[in-house]
Amino acid sequence: MVERGTILSHSISSEAIEIDKVKVDRIANLPLPTCVKDIRSFLRHVGFYWRFSKDFNKVVKHLSSLLAKDASFHFSKVCELVFKTFNEALTTTSISYPPVCGESFELMCDVWDFVAMQLTP
């Protein structure tokens, strides 16, 4: 059907699966969050990958606790470690593997940015 396409920031074709280097570099160079909005944005991006991360909720609880109502924003060393760990995992490990011909496979993708763009007046 399609000779080449982009799924989860990977360029997929019959020849290979390649990572979009520009997007990976952008994620790798994210500054540490400085406000609640930055934390929400980061958690929205890594939230898709909870299926692939052992104990995801336990690990991000330090970041998500900063989103609690009336909580003061204190980005601790633990929060920094969690941020850097997820940032490294997102930029060093590929979670996309080519499907095996003749076997069924499941394709999951996050359409949050698309939905948000459609809902924005």
Predicted model pTM: 0.60
Q: How many domains does the chain have?
A: 1
Rg of the chain over Cα atoms, rounded to whole angstroms, equals: 17
Q: What share of the chain is helix, strand, coil (3-state, %, to 5)?
A: 50, 10, 40
In a domain, 47, yes or no: yes
Q: Which residues constitute the domain of residue 57?
A: 21-95
In a domain, 114, yes or no: no
The tens-digit pLDDT sequence of the chain (121 residues) is 567 777 666 777 777 777 777 777 887 888 999 999 999 888 887 776 676 667 778 878 888 888 888 888 899 999 999 888 888 877 775 555 566 778 876 666 655 554 444 444 4
Alpha helices for 1-121 (secondary structure H): 21-28, 36-47, 56-64, 77-92, 112-119
